Amino acid sequence: MTSEERRRFCRIPFHLDAEVTCAGNRYSLALLDISLKGVMVGRPADVELHNGTLCQVRIPLGTEVWIEMEGEVAHLCPERIGIKCTAIELESITALRRLVELNLGDEWLLQREFDALLEG
């Protein structure tokens, strides 16, 4: 089974800057994609992190709307950092769910992903 077949959460390409705080350092990193379970951000050469590093992610959706989550570095590549969401407040999950809903365009697929999130 390929990683795409195992993937339970669709990634939504999303291009803007996200504020990521890890190990006491704050970075403005390019958000590459987002899902109900985490984010993928760009990795500048000077950002030195390790798998399991705890992070806070803040993504602006408008002047007063943010998605904020706590997470941990799940995987590292030379150009990307995958951050798995470990905690998210109700207001942020509501905004994230709406963002995914608008981008998937399929109510059944959204419900399947949300159910998988609640199971996991």
Q: How far is CA 111 from the centre of its chain?
A: 18
- Backbone phi and psi for residue 36, each to the nearest 5 degrees, phi listed first: -65, -15
Single-letter amino acid code for the residue at 70: E
User: According to the model, what pLDDT value does residue 2 have?
Assistant: 40
Residues of the chain with pLDDT under 70: 1-9, 104-120
CB proximity list for 119: less than 8 A, separation 6 or greater: none
Question: pTM of the prediction?
Answer: 0.80
Q: Tell me how far apart the alpha carbons of residues 1 and 95 are, in angstroms, rounded to a whole number.
A: 32
User: According to the model, what pLDDT value does residue 35 have?
Assistant: 86
Instruction: Tell me the pLDDT tens digit for each residue of 44-78.
Output: 888 888 999 999 999 998 888 899 999 999 999 99
User: According to the model, what pLDDT value does residue 97 have?
Assistant: 79
Q: How far apart are the first and last CA of the chain?
A: 20
Q: How far is CA 110 from the centre of its chain?
A: 16
- Please name each of the domains of the chain with its CATH number: 3-119 (2.40.10.220)
User: According to the model, what pLDDT value does residue 85 have?
Assistant: 94
